[in-house]
């Protein structure tokens, strides 16, 4: 098969290194030293790792039985390029243990340090060299969902099987990896399951290999993906292929017992895809779909296959349909264009919330979609919604930190109202400042320029200034980073609510 150019180059370089291991120790780049144990994230200083860039993950997982809580074992093969001369390097992992580790086909020493595997190859790796790491026999166990423990949904059991929801920093609980969105890579998945069990992963199903009473389902995710967006769904699930919409193949995954019930709401995505492509540009992946499970209280934009808790679809259409648009928008904003660090998460959530509320306003769903955010009834139009968000601006910033500087990395602290509604408010303010035409051009340019990549708030500010043909750095930095809410362009009458005498803890 024909691989994308970057992937072909990576495979060729890897083949050369494996054929000539001495190349990995040759060349310059300074004296070999250990790679950093963290990638440098403000909120998660120990997450991710320095010294290398992952190019591709090949993930093989064996599910020994069909029981939802059954522990699994796996082997991950990682192709990476050294960004410094490495004497050792780390992988994030906090699963059930691991077996042998090899680097470029040779056994490597491995030690556990906190939630890292510290790997020391037999020979140092030169800066710029491509190398291969194999971690065999690692283990992970699905857990029951516990609303008081966000880690319980990293790799979780359901009545029908198991699934994953690793955002923001939980993928290393079930996979040795460089677990930070700054280091995206392509993926291949091989899910070995008992006959009669459905296995689904990100990307396209390339083959099913049957042997005796077992089947290996093989998937390719050629576009780079952050580890937090991995989806491994195995169980008594049905796959519904809906054909194409706006050139995108649509397939949904549902518990077999609920497929007929969920078919009407899930089919609405066929209209959401062209609606978003008209506003943002071409969809960045080869396929899309929805995956519904019991128990989880959220929706998460796992790449090419958003996972929803079943409870969403017990709510009015004016709630679940804009939520579906929100998660679909993430495929552009957050998945294709990933955040440089987790403080930039407003670029994900602010954009997704923007399209959620715009869609809701256009389709008569804004009153239901926003009900409970700042009042009980919702809002009649976009302006009244954003006016309410603006009024709450200083309270949000006091409780949670500025839009682009969340106070902490807990799930509640990171995914707070100020990165969702406050992030959308930044976009509204920018649209007021530069006008609808320039704003729409910026949205499309952002999705196109950083497609398959990683970008920061500074990158967004620079591109906004470029598209608008004026320096917006002061304006946007105030909106993203100030402790107080700036004046709203075009609305001098809008006011910010004063802080209460005692602000309750978040």
Q: Tell me which residue of 236, 231, 360 sits closest to 289, measured CA to CA.
A: 231
Which pLDDT belongs to residue 501? Answer: 79
**What is the SS3 assignment for 144?**
coil
For 259-348, strand residue ranges (E) read 287-288, 290-293, 299-300, 306-309, 337-339
| d(C-alpha 86, C-alpha 105), whole Å | 17
Q: Which residues of the chain have pLDDT under 70?
A: 1-29, 502-506
Would you say the pTM of this structure is higher than 0.85? yes
**Distance of CA 159 to CAs 97, 252, 257, 365, Å?**
26, 18, 11, 32
- In eight-state DSSP terms, residue 160 is S
Which pLDDT belongs to residue 29? Answer: 57
Which pLDDT belongs to residue 30? Answer: 84
Question: Any bridge partners for residue 234, and if so which?
Answer: 162, 199
Question: Any bridge partners for residue 33, and if so which?
Answer: 86
pLDDT, tens digit (0-9, with 9 covering 90-100), for 430-462: 999 999 999 999 999 999 999 999 999 999 999
Q: For strand 337-339 and strand 185-194, is the pairing parallel, antiparallel, or unpaired?
A: unpaired
Which pLDDT belongs to residue 14? Answer: 37
Please, which residues have CB within 8 angstroms of residue 43's CB and are 6 or more apart in sequence? 341, 342, 343, 406, 408, 409, 414
Q: Tell me which residue of 2, 142, 138, 161 sits closest to 57, measured CA to CA.
A: 138
CB 197 within 8 A of CB 341: no
CB 158 within 8 A of CB 235: yes
Give the containing element (helix H, strand E) for 411. Answer: helix 411-414
Q: For strand 86-92 and strand 33-34, is the pairing parallel, antiparallel, or unpaired?
A: parallel
**What is the SS3 assignment for 233?**
strand
- In eight-state DSSP terms, residue 164 is E
What domains are defined for the chain?
5-230 (2.60.40.1730), 236-314 (3.30.2010.30), 337-481 (1.10.390.10)
Helix ranges (H only) for 314-391 are: 317-329, 346-362, 366-369, 382-391
| d(C-alpha 478, C-alpha 357), whole Å | 24
Q: Tell me which residue of 302, 240, 244, 317 sits closest to 274, measured CA to CA.
A: 244
| d(C-alpha 351, C-alpha 324), whole Å | 14
**Distance of CA 144 to CAs 62, 151, 303, 412, Å?**
20, 10, 23, 20
Which pLDDT belongs to residue 502? Answer: 64
| d(C-alpha 292, C-alpha 190), whole Å | 22
Q: What is the CA radius of gyration of the chain?
A: 23
């Amino acid at each position: 098969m024909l691989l994308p150019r970057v992937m072909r180059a990576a495979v060729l370089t890897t083949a050369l290194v494996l054929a000539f291991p001495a190349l990995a120790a040759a060349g310059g780049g300074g004296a070999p030293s250990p790679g950093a144990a963290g990638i440098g994230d403000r909120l998660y200083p120990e997450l991710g790792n320095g010294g290398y860039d992952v190019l591709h993950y090949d993930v093989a997982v064996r599910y020994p039985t069909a029981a939802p809580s059954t522990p699994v074992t796996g082997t991950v093969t990682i192709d990476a390029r050294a960004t410094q001369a490495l004497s050792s390097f780390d992988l994030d992992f906090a699963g059930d243990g691991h077996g042998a580790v090899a680097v470029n086909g040779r056994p490597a020493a491995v030690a556990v340090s906190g939630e890292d595997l510290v790997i020391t190859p037999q020979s140092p790796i030169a800066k710029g060299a491509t190398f291969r790491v194999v971690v065999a026999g690692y283990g992970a166990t699905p857990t029951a969902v516990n609303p008081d423990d966000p880690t319980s949904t990293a790799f979780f059991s359901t009545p029908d099987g198991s699934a994953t929801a690793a955002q923001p920093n939980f993928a290393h609980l079930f996979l040795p990896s460089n677990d930070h969105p700054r280091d995206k890579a392509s993926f291949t998945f091989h899910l070995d399951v008992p006959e009669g069990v459905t296995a689904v992963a990100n990307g396209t199903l390339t083959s099913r290999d049957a042997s005796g009473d077992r089947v290996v389902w093989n998937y390719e995710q050629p576009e780079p993906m952050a580890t937090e967006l991995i989806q491994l769904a195995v169980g008594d699930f049905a796959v519904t292929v809906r054909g194409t919409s706006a050139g995108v193949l649509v397939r949904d995954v549902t518990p077999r017992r609920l497929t007929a019930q969920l078919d009407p709401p899930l089919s609405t995505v066929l209209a959401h895809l062209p609606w978003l492509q008209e506003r943002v540009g071409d969809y960045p992946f080869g396929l899309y779909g929805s995956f519904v499970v019991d128990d989880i209280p959220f929706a998460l934009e796992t790449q090419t296959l958003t996972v929803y808790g079943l409870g969403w679809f017990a709510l009015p259409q004016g709630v679940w349909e804009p939520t579906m648009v929100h998660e679909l928008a993430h495929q552009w904003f957050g998945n294709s264009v990933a955040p440089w660090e987790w403080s930039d998460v407003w670029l994900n959530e602010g954009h997704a919330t923007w399209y959620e509320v715009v869609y809701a306003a256009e389709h008569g769903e804004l009153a239901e979609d926003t009900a409970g955010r700042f009042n009980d009834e919702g809002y009649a139009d976009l302006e009244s919604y954003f006016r309410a968000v603006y009024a709450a601006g200083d309270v949000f910033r006091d409780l949670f930190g500025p839009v682009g500087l969340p106070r902490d990395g807990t799930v509640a602290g990171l995914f707070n109202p100020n990165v969702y509604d406050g992030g959308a408010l930044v976009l509204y303010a920018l649209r007021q400042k530069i006008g609808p035409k320039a704003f729409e051009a910026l949205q499309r340019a952002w999705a196109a320029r950083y497609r398959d990549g990683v970008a920061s708030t500074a990158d967004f500010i620079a591109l906004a200034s470029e598209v608008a043909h004026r320096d917006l750095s002061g304006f946007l930095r105030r909106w993203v980073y100030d402790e107080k809410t700036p004046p709203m362009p075009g609305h001098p009458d809008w006011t910010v609510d004063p802080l209460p005498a005692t602000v309750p803890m978040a």
